[in-house]
Structure formats: structure tokens, C-alpha cells
Amino acid sequence: MKLVGLISDTHGRLPDAALGALAYCNHIIHAGDICDPGILRELQIMAPTTAVLGNNDYDEYGKNVTRFAHPVIDGVRFLVAHYPNDARIGFNGSRAIAPGDPLPQVCVHGHTHIPEILAGRDAYPASLFICPGSCSRPRGGFPASVGFIELEAGRVRAARVESLDGEVLLEMGK
């Protein structure tokens, strides 16, 4: 089993509790508004890290951090974008996917600072649409949070968003 950690909207702050929560992840995804290149360096020390630019980021992270990312982790196709509408795939496709590209199984976004998990019909054509909230500037009455996706044999086994003190806030299918 592989554990993918999700973080977003750090806005230049990476709390120790967020680092601790992500410590056992096999891969980390940052969904934008990083606001400090040092944050990506810290995350990359712990695990391979995929990141995208947010509306408060600049091209200071190198050529590998762009507006969209399409990692394949343990055989599962991801689409990562900062804006929720960029991660959503409609009948007319998406700006994040070129015609003929395979559809992602998991869409990850940030920007709202509000945790969200959609699965099944609500996430279609993906099987999971998720936002980890924000670990530094939470909104919507939620505490600071990070997300996790468990992968096994090329499938999403489970997904959840947790507060930085470990309380499960949202779970896939619940």
C-alpha cells in the first residue's frame, strides 16, 4: 500500500504538525499557494513531491512546478490543479487535459482552504475529487488540515482529510 499526502495553501508557512502528519507518506502533493521555495525543499526531503502553482505563486520553483501536474502514483492517474474548476472535468473536457489524454482517477485541488471529498457520481469522470483544505489559513469553520489517499494495486483504497492534531474531518464515502 502507498500513502499519498496532500497539502495546499501553505502561504509561506509549514507548521511542524503538518510535517509530522506527512512524515510517513510515500508521495506528497502540494496543490498550490506554496509561497516559499523552502517549503518544497522540506517536503522533498520526506518524500517525492509533486506541486502546482497557485494564484499567489510565481515561477520561482523551477520548470517542474507549473499550473497543472499529472503524476501517476502506484498506477493511479492524478490531476493536480490549484483552482477547483481547473481540476473538474466537464463534458467539454478541461484546460488541464489535452484531447486524447487519459482521464485521471483522482483530481486534487486547493484554493478554497476548505476540505472537500467527492466520490462516485459527484467526482465523475474521476473516482475521487479532493481538497485537503489549508494547513496555515483554514476557512469555513474547519481547523488547519492535510489530506491522505491510500493506494493499493492501482486503485484508491481510502481517502481522508485530517486536522493537524489527527482528527478525521472527512472520509471517502462517509
d(CA 13, CA 44): 16
Mean pLDDT over each residue of the chain, to the nearest integer: 94
d(CA 126, CA 128): 6
Cell numbers for 141: 469553520
- The predicted pLDDT at position 94 comes to 80
Report which DSSP code applies to 66: B
- The 10 Å Cβ neighbour count of residue 26 is 15
Query: What distance lies between CA 145 and its chain's CA centroid?
Result: 12
Mean predicted confidence (pLDDT) in 138-158: 96
DSSP per position, 84-102? HHHH--BTTBBTTB-TTPP
Nearest to 29 by CA among 21, 40, 20, 37: 40
- The predicted pLDDT at position 48 comes to 98
Reported as a pLDDT band with limits 50, 70 and 90, residue 149 is very high
Domain count, the chain: 1
d(CA 79, CA 81): 7
- Which CATH number is 110's domain given? 3.60.21.10
Tell me which residue has cell 501536474.
69
Print the domain residue range for 153.
Answer: 2-171
Helix (H, G, I), strand (E, B) or coil at 44: helix
For the cut 80, the answer to whether the pLDDT of residue 174 exceeds it is: no
Can you say whether residue 74 is alpha, beta or left, with left for phi > 0 and alpha for psi between -120 and 50 degrees?
A: left
- The pTM of the full predicted model, rounded to 2 decimals, is 0.95
d(CA 18, CA 21): 5
- The predicted pLDDT at position 89 comes to 84
Dihedral sign (CA 159, 119, 167, 70) = positive
Tell how many helices (H) and how many strands (E) occur in the chain: 3, 12
